[in-house]
Amino acid sequence: MDQVQRLKKDYPWIQTPLIVGAPMRLIALADLAVEITKAGGIGFIGAGTDISDLTTHLQSAQTQLGSTSSTALLPIGIGFINWGADLDASIPIIAQYRPAAVWFFAPSSTSSLVEWTQRTREVSPKTKVWVQVGSVLEALEAVRNAKPDVLVVQGTDAGGHGLAQGAGIISLLPEVSDAVQQEVASPAEEEEEEEEEEEEGGGGGGGKKEAYAPVLLAAGGIVESRGAAAALALGAGGIVLGTRFLASREANISRGYQAEVLRAVDGGQTTVRTKVYDDLRRTRWADTHNARGVINKSYVDAMRGMDEEENRRLYNEEMEKGDAGWGVENRMTTYAGSAVGLVKQVMGAGEIVREVREGVKGVLEGVRERL
C-alpha cells in the first residue's frame, strides 16, 4: 500500500494531500484540532509536558465532533512532549478517549519512546503512533525500536522546539526516506527469525502480513501551497503546519503574539534557534534541543551579555503588560518558524486547510508548464 492509501485507510475522513495541524502546546487545543479535522485534515491537541487539562480538552473535542460511539476512534490526535509528560497518567486518558493518533516528541531515551509506544498500543490498539524526528539517526532509531506508523520529519526551519543542530526538509526528508526504506527492506535479525518460525509451520493464519513502512510527513517552514507541493515532491505523504495555524481564529493565542506573527517578515533574519527563551522561562529541555522564535529584546540583551537573572526579571515584568509585551522592542516569546513572513492574515483553520490543500494542484500544474 502506498503512503496515501495507508493514510486514507487509517484516517478515513481525510482529504489529500493531507494537511496536519501540529500539536502546539497551550495553543493547539480542542477548537483548533476539531476545525482542522472537520476540514479533512488531522488536528492535534498539544498536551506538551503537562497533561493536567488534557481530559477537559478531549471532552470538548468529543462533544464538538459528536463522536458518541464507544468503539470509534476520536478523529483527532494528542501530542505529547515525552521527556516531561507523565506516562502513567497519560495512558488511561489514551485508553478512555482513543485518539486516532498520538504524537511523540523528544523522549528522554529510546527505551522511553518504546515504552510509550507499547503501552499506547496495549490500551488502544487502533491508535496510530506518530513520532516527530529531526535527523536521519533519530528516524532510524525510532523505526528500529518503536516501529511508528508515521514519522514526522521536522526540518530546522520549524517554529518552536526541535533539534538544535539540523537541516531543512529539502535535504532531510529525502535522506530520511532513503534511509528508512533501506532499513525496512533489510529487516533486523530478530524479524528474520520470526519469519523462519512462521515458515516452519507456526501461525497457520494464512494471508501475508503487509511489510512495515512508516508514512513520512514533512514539517518545518511550510505555510502555504508552494511549500506543501515541494514537500510532496520530496517524497512526503502529507504536510504538517504549525506556524501557519498561529494565525488562525481557533488558535488559543494572545492577540499580541498573533500580531507579532503577522508582522514578522524575512524569517531567516528575524527568527533564531536559541535556548534564551527557554532559559528565561525555566523550561528544562535537553541540550540537544532549542527553539525557533522571533528575535526580541530578551534575545538581543542576552547576546549583549546581560546577566540571566536580570533578563528574567525584565521578562517577568513584561508579562504584566499583556498583549503589549510582544514585539521586537519587547520581551514576550514569539515562537514561530522561518516561514513566518509568508503568514499574512488570520483565517479560519478550516479555510487554511482547504487553501493549502487545494492550492497544491495549481502549483504542480505551474511546475509542469516549466518542464
Ligand X SMILES: Cc1cc2nc3c(=O)[nH]c(=O)nc-3n(C[C@H](O)[C@H](O)[C@H](O)COP(=O)(O)O)c2cc1C
Residues that bind ligand X (CB under 6 A): 22-25, 27, 46, 48, 79, 81, 103, 105, 132, 154, 157-161, 219-222, 240-243, 335-337, 339
What is the closest distance, in whole angstroms, from the C-beta atom of residue 337 to ligand X in the complex?
A: 3
Angle at 288 between CA 282 and CA 290, to 5 degrees: 50
Taking the complex as a whole, the smallest distance from the CB of residue 120 to ligand X amounts, in Å, to 15
Q: Could you tell me which of 143, 210, 211 has the C-alpha nearest to residue 177?
A: 143
Report in angstroms how near the CB of residue 65 gets to ligand X at its nearest. Answer: 22
Nearer to ligand X, 93 or 184 (CB): 93
Smaller CB distance to ligand X: residue 5 or 93?
A: 93
Query: Residue 207's CB: how many other CB atoms inside 10 A?
Result: 6
Looking at the Cβ atoms of 177 and 338, the one nearer to ligand X is 338
Which of residues 282 and 368 has its CB atom nearest to ligand X in the complex? 282
**Is beta strand 150-154 parallel, antiparallel or unpaired with respect to 215-219?**
parallel
Pick from 264, 352, 359: nearest CA to 21: 352
Cβ nearer to ligand X, comparing 244 with 297: 244
Cβ proximity to ligand X, 67 vs 275, nearer residue:
275
Smallest distance from the beta carbon of 153 to ligand X, in angstroms? 9
Q: How far is the CB of 58 from ligand X (least distance, A)?
A: 16
Smallest gap from Cβ 1 to ligand X, in A, equals: 26
Residue with CB nearest ligand X? Answer: 242
Q: Minimum CB separation from ligand X for residue 146, in Å?
A: 15
Q: Which is nearer to ligand X, 220 or 350 (by Cβ)?
A: 220
Q: Which is nearer to ligand X, 158 or 229 (CB)?
A: 158
Please state the closest distance from residue 189 (CB atom) to ligand X, in A. Answer: 32
First to last CA, the chain: 29
Nearer to ligand X, 103 or 315 (CB): 103
Smallest gap, in angstroms, from Cβ of residue 72 to ligand X? 25
